[in-house]
Structure 1
Amino acid sequence: MIPRFTGPPLLGLNLRFLRDPLGMFEQARRDHGDLVELDLGVAGTLHAAFHPDGVRQVLQRGRRTHRGLLRELLGKGLFTTPSGDDWMRRRRLMQPLFHPDRLAEAIPLLRRPIVEALDTRWRAGSRVDLAAEMKRLTVAMMIDATFGGAPGVDKAAAREALSFLLGYVDEQLFRFPTVPRSLPTRDNRRYRRDIAVLRRVIEDAMRRPGDEPTFLNGLLDTRASGGGFTDEELVDEVLSIFIAGTETTGTALTWALHLLSQHPEQRGTSAEWARAAVSEAVRLYPPAWALRRVLDEPLEIGGHEVPAGARVIVSSYVTHRHPDIWDHPGQFRLDRWLEPANRPRFSYFPFGAGAHQCVGNAFALLEGELVLTEIARRFQLGPPERPLTGTKPAIALTPVPAPQPLLLPA
């Protein structure tokens, strides 16, 4: 029988799942092993697979689903589309945007907001709120990567709207209970206003896109040979890119910079060093910290059969810290990524894995390289003002409280 992790009658582990999912997953693996039935009371059973072999089977064989709320909030883009023919079509159309050659052409677009931010807001001798700064910076980078210098595009309005929507979507998906969106609260009114603002800005840019290698131009290029995105689909895809590609990257950079401030002996300035720092940060605090799948047919995992129709979850947070896979799993060590290592393929999946791996993971790593190398050339990061007390699981894993290191000259 599959080991079962139970909770109180009727409620099961539901409250624990809402309040401390990471702690619950870690206890499940530690006390019950690599395949566990999680008792969610009246909500039924959720299976959890933690070893890379089980993760591989779940992600390759399971069917991706999405809460309807996510599609309602963000539209029907690739990020919110369940498995199937429509998802496959969207994925095929999106992939050329993230080809290495096209990303290399976009580097000037990405570097511009980094230099502007560091020139205007970062000063040696002051403290910097990493969460706020990385959110502001990744929003600006995403807006520039999408629109470039297209004439008449209100990028300031887009930045302001996107900054609000990132927090709003987090609250709607992960706060319990939430205020119904039908009520005319201040935040609900602003959500409707800002979604309309973003859609209008995208539509305006579509009419005069300019000639830079932007995401928008790449999406418009899908129409050249027929079968590309419709106007409505294109707007939804841009919204998906905005939300999926900004919050996660901003949080990953926040963690990378915080961890580097705690480990000055691992300081560097090269692109290889920066990629290693981001890779290790998202090993410890992965953006896609839990992924759900539904099994359409029975699946054998670790010698046990999980039945058809089962809901299965995998947690990169737990697998990335699996003591059978990683040496000193809780330590921040860049040498893991600076020399070859022989690890199971599905032991590391910060951006998902398999067919549904995030299509923009190379873009996120490029952003990380550019941000970290530019900061490292100018500053060292001193200790934070307050120690961290934990993490907040939402769209990404947010550090609590927001780290505020001291900026020192490089």
Structure 2
Amino acid sequence: MNRVPRFSGPPLLGLNHRFLRDPVGMFMEAHRRYGDLVELDLGISGSVYAAFHPDGVKQTLLRGRRVHRALLRELLGKGLFTSPSGDDWLRRRRLIQPLFHEDRLAELTPLLLRSLDEVLERHWLNAGTVDLAAEMKRATVAMMVDATFGRHGDVDRAVAREELSFLLRYVDDRLFTFVQPPRSWPTPDNRRYRRSIRTIRAIIADAVRDGRRRGGDEPTFLNGLLASRGSDPEVRFSDEELVDEVLSIFIAGTETTGTALTWALHLLATHPAAGEGLLKEMASELPGDTLTPAVLARLTWPKAIVQEAVRLYPPAWALRRVTDDPVEIGGVRLPAGSRLIVSAYVTHRHPQVWSEPERFDPVRWLPAGAAERPRFSYFPFGAGAHQCMGNMFALLEGELIITRLAQRFRMAPFGRSPVRARPTIALAPVPGPHLEVIPIS
């Protein structure tokens, strides 16, 4: 049997300091030095096997069991995002899946555009320059809140947006800062965290009760969840389960999407040829200000820009699994109980799969540039049974934002500081890029 090369660190500590400081850099070095399957030494925490080739990614994601940090389980409860595989997970997935079908998402388009246009009117028209990361978070949070609750009812959207934004920052800090006081300590952030959870859960619970009482025909996520039924008419979500699922949709669908779109617009602004391709297609396919699902479906450049951005900076940049049974990867049989990790950041740059992997090139996603690639060579939102169901919603948000901004503004980079990726829940660009925005009269 082949021996797995080992990437070692100092005694006791191992590679933990690098894992927290620069995990994607560590993964890239591991792949460059040791190949497609590497044992990473985590000191007293034991070892984890990193699989970088698409074949190893396939075995890891199809054969491994998900593991989650205690913070996410505490925050999100027993929602689909944190539920282990099994009958309950399958029940939840079957109830939620219809919400993300293409036809239902298309019905959300007018609602999403109204939310986006409100953000642009208030924060972009007279801005001159914008903090791209802050504005993408603002836009995606607003779009997610309205896509969930709709435009009617008594939901305090401003408070929901404020609390959601704080929780996203808190989770980032807790997961990716080396030294943190325990959550039980009464620090200002910990107190605010507990208060924010209570507030956002109360908002969702009130909306659930109101929705059960009044009903509604808007194609929102909440209405869809309230109407969900399995093959057995008695199989549906309880009110408590609905709160968990809505909060999971919030957390999973805002931070990652906002960060992905920050990268997409930064890359678009710094690669003029891609911008020219987008504007040329829009001039021929997009009449006036009209932007409907049918028109959006004809455009190929907005989706290609998002797909290429998340190839380079994938939201699900690393995924952990544990094997319950032995698994063979790269000719090596790993025992049951092995801990595995895959990194889309590395696999999306694998030289055996991608030509010029570091280059931003949306053309590779257009019909004329499409190429056959292994199935697990591209997994920006995960893959296998646990692939994020919200990936189509994220792509829809991205296409809408890119297209609408190109309709209404000319955009150019503001400042020339090099931008690098800082691993958080997603891969945050640091320093945050700014754009000069000029309204098109």
| TM-score normalized with structure 1 length | 0.97
CA distance, structure 2, for counterparts of residue 257 and residue 65 of structure 1: 32
Task: Pick the aligned partner of 1:290 from 318, 332, 338.
Answer: 318
CA contact (8 A) 1:288 1:351 kept: yes
CA distance, structure 2, for counterparts of residue 236 and residue 170 of structure 1: 19
CA distance, structure 1, for counterparts of residue 196 and residue 17 of structure 2: 32
Give the 3-state SS of the residue equivalent to 2:300 in structure 1: helix
Equivalent in the alignment of 1:249: 257
CA contact (8 A) 1:49 1:314 kept: yes
CA distance, structure 1, for counterparts of residue 396 and residue 29 of structure 2: 35
Letter in 2 for 1:324: Q
Task: Pick the aligned partner of 1:211 from 206, 217, 222.
Answer: 217
The 1:206/1:311 distance shift into structure 2, 3 A limit, reads: same
After the TM superposition, which of the residue ranges 82-91 and 255-264 deviates more from structure 2? 82-91
1:360 and 2:362 correspond? no
Equivalent in the alignment of 1:262: 270
Task: Pick the aligned partner of 1:91 from 83, 90, 93.
Answer: 93
The 1:305/1:384 distance shift into structure 2, 3 A limit, reads: farther
Letter in 2 for 1:96: P
CA contact (8 A) 1:135 1:250 kept: yes
1:407 and 2:415 correspond? no
CA distance, structure 2, for counterparts of residue 338 and residue 302 of structure 1: 32
CA distance, structure 2, for counterparts of residue 45 and residue 180 of structure 1: 25
Equivalent in the alignment of 2:360: 332
CA distance, structure 2, for counterparts of residue 342 and residue 223 of structure 1: 38
Task: Pick the aligned partner of 1:110 from 96, 109, 112.
Answer: 112
CA distance, structure 2, for counterparts of residue 305 and residue 384 of structure 1: 51
CA distance, structure 1, for counterparts of residue 4 and residue 35 of structure 2: 9
Q: Structure 1 residue 123: deviation in Å?
A: 3.2
CA contact (8 A) 1:65 1:83 kept: no
1:371 and 2:371 correspond? no
After the TM superposition, which of the residue ranges 41-50 and 196-205 deviates more from structure 2? 196-205
The 1:23/1:153 distance shift into structure 2, 3 A limit, reads: same
After the TM superposition, which of the residue ranges 4-13 and 313-322 deviates more from structure 2? 4-13
CA distance, structure 1, for counterparts of residue 439 and residue 274 of structure 2: 17
Identity of aligned residues (%): 67
Give the 3-state SS of the residue equivalent to 1:12 in structure 2: coil
1:275 and 2:281 correspond? no
1:309 and 2:337 correspond? yes
CA distance, structure 1, for counterparts of residue 316 and residue 221 of structure 2: 23
CA shift digits 1:10-64 (9 cap, x unpaired): 1111111111101110011000000010111111110000000110111111111
1:123 and 2:131 correspond? no
Equivalent in the alignment of 1:398: 428
Equivalent in the alignment of 1:191: 193
Letter in 2 for 1:334: P
Letter in 1 for 2:113: R
The 1:108/1:230 distance shift into structure 2, 3 A limit, reads: same
Equivalent in the alignment of 1:323: 351
CA distance, structure 1, for counterparts of residue 51 and residue 67 of structure 2: 17
The 1:389/1:366 distance shift into structure 2, 3 A limit, reads: closer
Equivalent in the alignment of 2:286: none
Number of residue pairs the alignment of both structures matches: 410
CA distance, structure 2, for counterparts of residue 239 and residue 57 of structure 1: 30
Task: Pick the aligned partner of 1:380 from 410, 421, 425.
Answer: 410
Task: Pick the aligned partner of 1:234 from 242, 261, 267.
Answer: 242
CA distance, structure 2, for counterparts of residue 223 and residue 204 of structure 1: 21
Give the 3-state SS of the residue equivalent to 2:14 in structure 1: coil
After the TM superposition, which of the residue ranges 327-336 and 121-130 deviates more from structure 2? 121-130
| TM-score normalized with structure 2 length | 0.90
Give the 3-state SS of the residue equivalent to 2:350 in structure 1: coil
CA shift digits 1:314-338 (9 cap, x unpaired): 0000000111110000000011100
Could you tell me which runs of 5 or more consecutive residues in structure 2 were left unpaired when the two chains were aligned.
Answer: 283-298
Task: Pick the aligned partner of 2:142 from 140, 158, 169.
Answer: 140
Q: Structure 1 residue 155: deviation in Å?
A: 1.3
Q: Structure 1 residue 244: deviation in Å?
A: 0.5
- Give the alignment's Cα RMSD to 1 decimal: 1.4
CA distance, structure 2, for counterparts of residue 110 and residue 28 of structure 1: 42
CA contact (8 A) 2:266 2:433 kept: yes
After the TM superposition, which of the residue ranges 180-189 and 308-317 deviates more from structure 2? 180-189
Q: Structure 1 residue 384: deviation in Å?
A: 2.9
CA shift digits 1:122-150 (9 cap, x unpaired): 13771110000000110000000000023
